[in-house]
Structure 1
Amino acid sequence: MHLIRAERGTFAGPAAFLADERRRADVAAYLADMVRPFGARPGPELSGHSYGEMAAALVAATVPEDEPVDLLVLAFAVHDMWPGRATATYLSHLCPGTPLSFAVCDQGTAAPFTALRLIRDLKPRKGLLIAVEQAMLPYDSAVPPPVEHRGVAVLCGDGAGARVTDLRQYPDVAPDSVPGQASLRIAELTAGHPGARLVLGDALAEAWPDHPDCVRVPAGRPTTGVWWHLAGALRGPAGPVVVADYDRDLRYLCLAAIEVR
């Protein structure tokens, strides 16, 4: 599988649909009802973003009209501000080819890796991975939200482009096992490629204090972080790139090796 093209972007909030007072009131009431059984209080304002709006812009920038897509996979962790919409289905309607589409969530930082693995295993002629995160939770939460509204789209398929040489996901990796596991797996992925560029998510770099020289994703970018840097690397010099991340809560260790051409 090859990575044909990638686009990335940040988005100003709030979502455009929240300008409609009736929709805004409906969303506020819905979210208040959802969090009430958990003892959480709804926030005073709605200023988050919509993955439908964010991803629509990424689709338009990534997929030309004459390159129809067969499969679209949306990866996210934080819900967006339009909870009543099936966003992946909506994006299928907007994407050239009207692809089969679905979402991967509830996997934390592993979600984009799972999405890429699904695209690889289902072998579409062209598949589109979209990883998104939005920075506003309209209720009390012990987990801080991402620092900004961001998204990355990666068009995959056969032919020209960077090649995915390996993709691995390891479940139930305890925090104290991360340094040994990460060191071993990255050594396997980079064997014979001493100049490989390494991109680590912030959680993985923190759990692995003695990590080698790498690009460390800043905190607050849990879903898009390593993919944002990969999108930039695809435009850079040729050579191997390894992106890796760890989810502290769900204990997934994920790695992908890409040969940029």
Structure 2
Amino acid sequence: MNLIRAGRRDFPAPAGFLIDDDRRNEVAEYFADLTRPYNTAAGTELSGQSYGEMAKALIATVVPADEPVDLLVLAFSIHDMWPGRATATFLSHLCPGTPLSFALCDQGSAAPFTALRLIREHRPRRALLLAVEQAMLPYDSPAVLPKEHRGVALLCGNDDSAGSRIAGLAQHPDVAAPDVPALAAQALTELSAGHDDVRLVLGETLADAWPGAAEHTRAAAGQPMTGVWWQLADTLAESAGLVVIGDYDRDLRYLCLAAIQAR
């Protein structure tokens, strides 16, 4: 499986549908009902984003009309501001090819890695991975929110003549922070075997938990879902060679690394 094309965007403004007063009131009422049983009052600020709107823009960036997609996987952690919509199904009708689509959540920063593993195992002719995060919840929550609304799109395909080869993937569940350095080093050794030119990109949490890591690029802070994937596009464009990206979710204890052979 190859990575054919990558796209990324930040979305500084709130979701467009929140401009409509009626829709905004519906969303506010929904969250008020949702939080009332927990003695948590919903806030009045509604400045978050819609993954439907974000993904629509990303699809237009990386999927031409003449390159239909067979599988679409949406990976996220923080829910968006349109909770009543089945977003993956909605996106299927926006994406060329009307692909089979589903969403992955509740895995923290591991979700895009899981999505990539599922795409590799499914082996569609073309697949689209969308990793998205929005930075606002209209109620008090212990969840650590990202700093910005951001999204990354990765168009994958099984044509070995195009793009960068997805060379390997390692996912380890239930990893305590003290065990991260040894396990991450072992995974890096296995993924980079036979390669002299290896560029390492680490998410901020993995970089902190692995102080003895080899020379690496550190992804932007405060973007747990998109950080390493955002950086990947730049790293692949720099030169040929193997790129290994990795992240660690301290709360859910997932350690994930992926290797992409740039060419």
> TM-score band (shorter)?
over 0.9
How far did 1:192 drift?
A: 2.6
Gaps of 5+ in 1: none
> Which residue number corresponds to residue 165 of structure 1?
167
* Aligned equivalent of 1:18: 18
SS at match of 1:235: helix
Deviations 1:170-220 (A, max 9, x none): 111111101111111112212232320001111111111222211112321
Task: Name the SS of the counterpart of 1:169 in structure 2.
Answer: strand
2:7 matched residue in structure 1: 7
Which stretch of structure 1 is more off in the superposition, 185-194 or 133-142? 185-194
Match of 1:98 in 2: 98
Q: Is the 8 A contact 1:110 1:254 kept in 2?
A: yes
8 Å contact kept, 1:152–1:231: no
SS of 2:207's partner is helix
| Among candidates 228, 231, 234, match of residue 230 of structure 2 | 228
Matched with 2:259 is: 257
Instruction: Give the superposition deviation at 1:131.
Output: 0.3
Give ranges in structure 2 of 5+ residues lacking alignment. Answer: none
Shift of residue 43, structure 1, vs aligned partner: 1.7
Question: Which 10-residue stretch deviates more, 31-40 or 61-70?
Answer: 31-40
Counterpart contact for 1:67–1:96, Cα < 8 Å: yes
Aligned to 2:135: 135
The one-letter code sitting in structure 2 at the alignment partner of 1:49 is Q
Distance in 2 between residues matched to 1:255 and 1:38, nearest whole Å: 37
Q: Aligned residue for 2:120?
A: 120
Looking at structure 1, the residues matched to 90 and 134 of structure 2 have their Cα atoms a distance apart, in angstroms, of 18
Distance between the aligned counterparts of 2:231 and 2:35, measured in 1?
Answer: 34
CA contact (8 A) 1:40 1:141 kept: no
Return the alpha-carbon distance in structure 2 between the equivalents of residues 112 and 241 of structure 1.
16
Residues 28 and 44, structure 2, Cα contact 8 Å, conserved in 1: no
Structure 1 stretch 32-41 or stretch 178-187: which is displaced more? 32-41
Is residue 2:144 matched to residue 1:144?
A: yes
Which residue is equivalent to 2:52?
A: 52
Aligned residue number for residue 36 of structure 1: 36
| Residue of 213, 219, 229 corresponding to 1:217 | 219
Aligned letter for 1:254?
A: C
Say how many residue pairs are matched: 261
Local SS of the residue matching 2:145: coil
Secondary structure of the residue aligned to 1:258 is strand
**TM-aligned CA deviation for residue 243 of structure 1:** 0.5
CA displacement, residues 115-160 of structure 1 (integer Å, 9 cap, x when unaligned): 1111111110000000000011111122331000100000001221
* 1:241 maps onto 2:243 in alignment: yes
CA contact (8 A) 1:154 1:231 kept: no
Identity of aligned residues (%): 65
Partners of 1:3 and 1:161 within 8 A in 2: yes
TM-score, normalised relative to structure 2: 0.96
